[in-house]
Amino acid sequence: MGLWKTFKLSSKRPEMVSDRLQENQENSSDGLEIIPTELDRRAYYLRTLYDVSRELFGTVSFEAILRNFMLMTMGNFGVFRCFTLTCNNSAQEVRHFCSVGFNEDEESRLKHFSCSFLEGDISCTADSGGFEKSRSTPFPTDISLIFPFRVDGDRIGLVGLGPKLTEEPFTRHDKELLGTLVNNLVVALKNALSFEEIHGLNQELQTKNEELEKTLQQLRAALRKVEILESVKANLCKFVPATVSRMIEKSPTSENLEASERDLSVMFLDIEGYTRITEEMGGTVVNSVVEKYFSVFMDAIYTNNGDVMETAGDGLMILFLSEDGKTHALDAVRAAATIRQKTGIINRESEAILKPLAINIGITSGRAFLGASRFNSPTGSRWTYTAHGMLVNMAARICTKATGGAIFTNRATAERAGEEFPFIFLGKFPLRNISKEMEIFEVRQQP
């Protein structure tokens, strides 16, 4: 019944059915036309986005990105005037500015307008759809559309477009496309800032590396000097007494080297019959023998805190400088006893000598002057560090009194050394160039 009624109604008004069919055909035709137009527009937007992005991301120069964006935008929207600008977050300082189609006066006004606009409403840079020229928004001359943007927390910017060459207004689709392009611009500018930061860090690192290399070269040179000085020191130590070396190392500029009176023990030793032995064996052989004997003596001397101050052919002058008087006297006697023992061993084992050597030793303990003496001459100055005074003279004199490898001392040494070694009083003896006779004690071999 319903179908019949409908048919009936339709049959009563055939002209209405005809009108509806025609309307449906027309609507269907419009839809087919709209779809290709929308596809063309989207394809154009995609091509534009691709072209602009390729230009923007093809460089990492902040200035070049702004200029490329400006030129591409002018071509795509058909405008002959355009500018781009960035400034600091407070819009007080313009950092970058590019423009086409404006003279210097107009550019100055654009900068002033942009800073005033951004300073007045910085929030407009967030999700902005652009601002068109209107009565409520006084734009500069020949600027129809502006689009603010934010690069980062310290940098904001503005894009300004003049009117289209066709004199048509900017459509909603134009603004959407421009918004997308500006978003890509922001990404490209951020990349450029990151590159600039990385480039700056690389330059700073390169500068640091150059400074480090320079420092390393200076350090190598300094180490080389130290090596040379250590080498010189090692060679000088062969000739300079260890006492002097330690004093100079401890205080290079002090006056500790100046002569002063102090309590010490002095030892002289020489080879008995040295002149005769030299004549019999020859200088070369004797020198080898002396080096062999004296090398053994050095261990005994240094082990007992002694220091060789002077050498003279077959003789040595040794000082014992411990702070305690009993200690340095006992050190000297111990060193002498060891030297006597080592001499006996070498005499038994050596085949280079025809007759055993006798090392005679004289020791005195007491007060003497110790320090540096300087001798000046027209050719320069010569320094020597040694002990001098009557105590030294007596040690040298009683050494000449000793024979057959004996060890002679004065009374002070015998009394200070204690009971570790047996001392025999030999009596008083006159010594050359000494007015009073001197008491001499002999250190006998330990049981």
- Per-residue pLDDT of 301-357, as tens digits, reads 999 999 888 877 778 899 999 999 999 999 999 999 999 999 988 888 876 666 788
Q: What are the structure tokens assigned to 398, written together?
A: 């009683």
Tens-digit pLDDT profile for residues 214-266: 999 999 999 988 888 777 667 666 665 666 666 666 666 555 567 788 999 99
Helix (H) or strand (E) holding 384: strand 380-388
- Close Cβ partners of 317 (under 8 Å, ≥ 6 residues apart): 266, 267, 268, 308, 309, 310, 311, 386, 392, 396
- CB contact at 8 A, 337 and 350: no
The DSSP code for 137 is: S
Which runs of consecutive H residues, i.e. helices, occur in 238-272? 242-250
Enter the pTM of the model.
Answer: 0.52
| Residue 221 neighbours by CB distance under 10 Å | 10
8 A C-beta contact, residue 131 and residue 137? yes
SS3 category, 51:
helix
Q: In Å, how far from its chain's centre is CA 423?
A: 64
Q: For the chain, which residues make up each domain, given as ranges?
A: 27-196, 257-443
Please state, rounded to an integer, the average pLDDT across all residues of the chain: 81
SS3 for 296?
A: helix
Contacts of 296 (CB under 8 A, 6+ apart): 339, 342, 343, 346
Q: What are phi and psi of 136, to 5 degrees?
A: -80, -15
- Furthest CA-CA distance within the chain: 174
Higher pLDDT, 135 or 32: 135
Q: What b/e sequence results for 229-264 when a residue is b if at least 16 CB atoms lie within 10 Å of its CB, and e otherwise? A: eeeeeeeeeeeebebbeebbeeeeeeeebebeeebb
84 or 276, which is more confident: 84
> Which 3-state string (H, E, C) describes 184-206?
HHHHHHHHHHHHHHHHHHHHHHH
pLDDT band at 423 (very low <50, low <70, confident <90, very high): very high
> Which stretches of 182-297 are assigned E, i.e. beta strand?
260-271
End-to-end CA distance of the chain: 155
3-state secondary structure of 100: strand
| Highest-scoring range by mean pLDDT, 3-12, 129-138, 303-312, 411-420 | 411-420
What single DSSP character describes residue 351? S
* Beta-strand relationship, 434-443 and 423-431: antiparallel
Task: Report CA torsion sign: 390, 393, 395, 398.
Answer: negative
CATH number of 27-196: 3.30.450.40
* pLDDT tens digits for range 344-361: 888 888 766 667 889 999
d(CA 268, CA 359) in angstroms, rounded, equals 10
For residue 2, name the pLDDT band (cuts at 50, 70, 90): very low
pLDDT score recorded for residue 249: 66
Which H or E run includes 107? helix 104-120
Q: Are both 27-196 and 257-443 of the same fold?
A: no
Radius of gyration of the chain (CA): 54
Q: Are 155 and 86 in contact (CB under 8 A)?
A: yes
What is residue 381's predicted lDDT score, i.e. its pLDDT? 66
Give start and end residues of each alpha helix (H) in 304-324: none
Q: What percent of the chain has pLDDT over 90?
A: 34
Q: Is residue 81 predicted with pLDDT exceeding 70?
A: yes
DSSP category for residue 124: G
Q: Facing residues of 262 across strands?
A: 368
Q: Which residues are CB-neighbours of 351 under 8 A, at least 6 positions away? A: none
In angstroms, what CA-CA distances link 206 with 71, 198, 212, 235, 333? 36, 12, 9, 43, 67
CATH class of the structural domain 257-443: alpha beta
Q: Helix axis angle, 242-250 relative to 172-237, nearest 10°?
A: 150
DSSP H or E run through 311:
strand 306-312
